[in-house]
Amino acid sequence: MRIADFGPFSTKVIAAVLIVSGSCVAVMQTLIIPLLPDLPKILNVDHDAVSWLVTATLLSSAIGTPSLTRLADMYGKKRMLMVALFAMFAGSFVGSIAHSIGILVVARVLQGFSMSLIPIGISIMRDEIPREHLAKSVAYMSSTLGLGAVLGLPLAGFMYEHYGWNSVFLISATFAAIMLALVAVVVPESSVMSGGRFDAMGALLISIALGTALLVITESAKWRLMSLKTLVGVVIVAIIVPLWIRLENRQSAPLIDLQTFRYRPVLLTNITSMLVGFAMYANMLTTTQQLQLPISHEVGFGLDAQKAGLCLIPAGLMMIVFSPVAARVTKASGPRRTLIIGAVILMTGYIFRIFMMNSVAEIILGGVIVTSGTAMSYAAMPTLIMRSVPVSETAGANGVNTVLRTVGTSFCSATLAAFMTHFIVDVGGVSLPTRSAFVAIFVLAASAALAAALVAMKLPSSHAFD
């Protein structure tokens, strides 16, 4: 007997468990950031080594998501959901007892695999949630990508400040264990499974290509554009991608059904996903940095990591506030309009940030506007994807959309690193980014949001599987 047999609130309970699980997993994106300045001294390594604690999670998320979401469609969504949560638990537990950079990198790799939970959770909602409540549930679930990432900073900062750096991983392991138990009891296994044979070669090739591409993007600021490492990475991707496309087109059950890209909504939604990912991440990366710059700096406010993280909470709350708003707009006017409105709000937030960065309140307000637009945009994308693919391919299609969003955030991270090292000023013997660096990033983010809105306007109003 499953929990759905016990009463009329069962689908709400299922949705709540999936949404909380998504928020817990999304925290992995920013969990390590408050620790980065001090870990080189704690672990006796250089800053380049510590940067791998961010890169490793990014790579494993991009590599693992296509495979786990495809396995979810084939052999059971609940089963793969629990695999993702177990990866979060295992990585967090390893991190809580680690005392070397190598073990911490392994922990972060495992944590990265858990990011596939969000697209799998959305596909479970499609199977289990009544149609009249689906848009709202999906909006909340999709917003966890931004909510968890924003709230992860103050949570990690608080735990680190009061209980030490290992406690950051311990609290994550505790949440993972709780959610594993709840998912096991509450979430039913979907009867919608495609079965078949897993495309192992396709998974291997796309993992190498994605991993290499993201590595080149994230490390480009350090490697330089024409360095040997960068050129080798580009050549590897250029060789493998055509081979992978040829293989997938010949497979009867490919890892990623490339034929779905012939559906205009899928193609255009994936393009907007990269653009919104770029725009969203600029806010997350710049806000705490601005707030922590010394007061002697032209845009600095001298806050510590914990206080800077707390300043992000209002922006994080907007992800909750605007998710039901997005659902209502989607129900009334369709996900296309929701996505356009979200992208326009996102652009407006960055225009505000270009001109208004003279006080902590202005920075917080700018972040609130940006995350409001992010919530609207994120809420629309899964619905656009699900209305455009067969039910048996929901998890895989949403997984690809999530990976492309990660590609967008990676481009943003690399671009920001380049600007922050090019536009610098000496403050007390330390090189810090200038006001022009922040302005340039905000202009690029606003441009990405505008491009997302323009692409979204090309989306058709009806879809094949609606």
Mean pLDDT of 255-280: 85
The pair of structure tokens assigned to 412 is: 């943003």
Give the domain extent around 213: 200-250
Integer Cα distance of 151 and 27 in angstroms: 7
b (16+ CB within 10 A) / e for 72-97? bbbebbbebbbbbbbbbbbbbbbbbe
Q: Do 209 and 349 have their domain in common?
A: no
Q: Is residue 466 part of a domain?
A: no
Residue 455 pLDDT more than 70? yes
* Count of residues making up the chain: 466
Integer Cα distance of 122 and 134 in angstroms: 10
> Of 190, 220, 250, which residue is a domain's last?
250
Query: Closest by alpha carbon to 89, among 177, 179, 181?
Result: 177
Q: Is residue 257 part of a domain?
A: yes
Q: Which of 21-25, 27-31, 132-136 has the highest mean pLDDT?
A: 21-25
Residue 338 — φ and ψ, nearest 5°?
-60, -45
Q: Do 215 and 348 have their domain in common?
A: no
Q: Is residue 131 part of a domain?
A: yes
Give 61 or 152, the one with higher predicted confidence. Answer: 61
Residue 283 — φ and ψ, nearest 5°?
-65, -45
Residue 266 pLDDT more than 60? yes
pLDDT the model gives residue 11? 84
> Of 183, 217, 250, which residue is a domain's last?
250
Q: Is residue 214 part of a domain?
A: yes
pLDDT the model gives residue 81? 93
Residue 462 pLDDT more than 70? no
SS (H, E, C) 18-71: HHHHHHHHHHHHCCCHHHCCCHHHHHCCCHHHHHHHHHHHHHHHHHHHHHHHHH
Query: Closest by alpha carbon to 413, among 26, 14, 29, 15?
Result: 29
pLDDT the model gives residue 1? 40
pLDDT the model gives residue 259? 76
Classify residue 219 as exposed, middle or buried by CB count within 10 Å of its CB (0-12, 13-18, 19+): buried
Integer Cα distance of 384 and 322 in angstroms: 18
Mean pLDDT of 455-466: 70
Looking at the structure of the chain, the number of domains it has is: 2
Q: Do 143 and 185 have their domain in common?
A: yes
Residue 464 pLDDT more than 50? no
How far CA 299 is from CA of 215, 310, 358, 365, 410, in Å, comes to 31, 19, 7, 16, 25
Mean pLDDT of 37-56: 82
Residue 460 burial (CB count, 10 A): 12
pLDDT the model gives residue 466? 42
> Of 250, 269, 292, which residue is a domain's last?
250
Q: Do 373 and 415 have their domain in common?
A: yes
Q: Do 234 and 304 have their domain in common?
A: no
The pair of structure tokens assigned to 265 is: 């909504």
Q: Do 256 and 164 have their domain in common?
A: yes
What residues contact 429, with CB distance under 8 A and at least 6 apart? none
Mean pLDDT of 396-406: 81
pLDDT the model gives residue 253? 77
Integer Cα distance of 218 and 382 in angstroms: 26
Q: Which amino acid type is present at position 171?
A: I
CA angle 210, 61, 287 (to 5 degrees): 105
pLDDT, tens digit (0-9, with 9 covering 90-100), for 278-335: 898 888 778 877 888 888 777 788 887 778 778 888 888 888 888 888 888 988 888 9
Q: Do 81 and 211 have their domain in common?
A: no
Q: Is residue 32 part of a domain?
A: yes
pLDDT the model gives residue 426? 67
Tokens 């799998």 correspond to 120
Tell me the average pLDDT of the chain.
Answer: 84
> What's the CATH code of the domain at 174?
1.20.1250.20
Mean pLDDT of 237-251: 90
pLDDT grade, residue 3 (50/70/90)? Answer: very low
> Percent of the chain beyond pLDDT 70?
94
Give 420 or 100, the one with higher predicted confidence. Answer: 100
pLDDT the model gives residue 104? 93
Q: Do 327 and 273 have their domain in common?
A: yes
pLDDT grade, residue 263 (50/70/90)? Answer: confident
pLDDT the model gives residue 162? 84
Residue 349 pLDDT more than 90? yes
Q: Is residue 462 part of a domain?
A: no
Give 462 or 338, the one with higher predicted confidence. Answer: 338
Q: Do 316 and 336 have their domain in common?
A: yes
Which range (353-367, 373-387, 432-446, 452-466) has the least confidence? Answer: 452-466
Which range (56-65, 172-181, 291-300, 356-365) has the least confidence? Answer: 291-300
pTM: 0.81
pLDDT, tens digit (0-9, with 9 covering 90-100), for 63-74: 888 889 889 988
Q: Judge whether 373 and 344 are in contact, CB under 8 Å.
A: yes
Residue 430 pLDDT more than 70? no
Q: Do 165 and 219 have their domain in common?
A: no
Residue 463 pLDDT more than 80? no
Q: Judge whether 150 and 312 are in contact, CB under 8 Å.
A: yes
Q: Is residue 442 part of a domain?
A: yes
pLDDT the model gives residue 225? 67
pLDDT, tens digit (0-9, with 9 covering 90-100), for 147-173: 776 777 778 878 888 888 899 999 999
Give 144 or 5, the one with higher predicted confidence. Answer: 144
Q: Do 217 and 258 have their domain in common?
A: no
41, HSE (Cβ side, Cα atoms, 13 Å):
4
Mean pLDDT of 1-21: 68
Q: Are strands 430-433 and 424-427 parallel, antiparallel or unpaired?
A: antiparallel
How far CA 91 is from CA of 246, 267, 429, in Å, comes to 35, 34, 39
pLDDT the model gives residue 179? 94
Q: Is residue 465 part of a domain?
A: no
Q: Do 115 and 242 have their domain in common?
A: no
